[in-house]
Amino acid sequence: MAQVKPMRALFLLATLLFVAPVWASTVLVVGDSISAAYGLAEEDGWVQMAEEQLQPLADDEINFVNASISGDTTSGGLARLPEALERFDPDLVVIELGGNDGLRGYSLKKMRENLTEMVEASEASGAEVLILGMQIPTNYGAAYTRRFAEIFQKVADTTGAALVPFMLEPLVADRAYFQSDGIHPSADAQPLLVDHVLPSIKQALKIDAAGAAATTKQRSTQ
Model confidence pLDDT, tens digit, residues 72-91:
999 999 999 999 999 999 99
**What sign results for the dihedral spanned by CA atoms 114, 116, 119, 125?**
negative
Of 59, 70, 184, 200, which one is the catalytic site residue? 184
Dump pLDDT digits (tens) for 167-190: 999 999 999 999 999 999 999 999
pLDDT at 6: 52
Q: How confident is the model at residue 23 (pLDDT cuts 50, 70, 90)?
A: low
pLDDT at 217: 58
Go through the chain and tell me how many residues it has: 222
Cβ-Cβ contacts under 8 Å for 114 (sequence gap 6 or more): 73, 74, 75, 77, 78, 97
Of 33, 68, 122, 125, which one is the catalytic site residue? 33
- Bridge-partner residues for 129, per DSSP? 93
Nearest to 155 by CA among 108, 91, 88: 108
Eight-class DSSP state of 19: S
Catalytic residue flag (residue 196): no
Class of the CATH domain delimited by 23-221: alpha beta
Q: How confident is the model at residue 98 (pLDDT cuts 50, 70, 90)?
A: very high
How many angstroms separate the Cα of 69 from the Cα of each of 21, 47, 77, 96?
34, 13, 9, 11
pTM score above 0.75: yes
Pairing of the two strands 24-31 and 92-96: parallel
Give the CA radius of gyration of the chain: 20
Catalytic residue flag (residue 107): no
- Bridge-partner residues for 66, per DSSP? 29
Catalytic residue flag (residue 33): yes
Q: Residues of the chain with pLDDT > 90: what percent?
A: 77
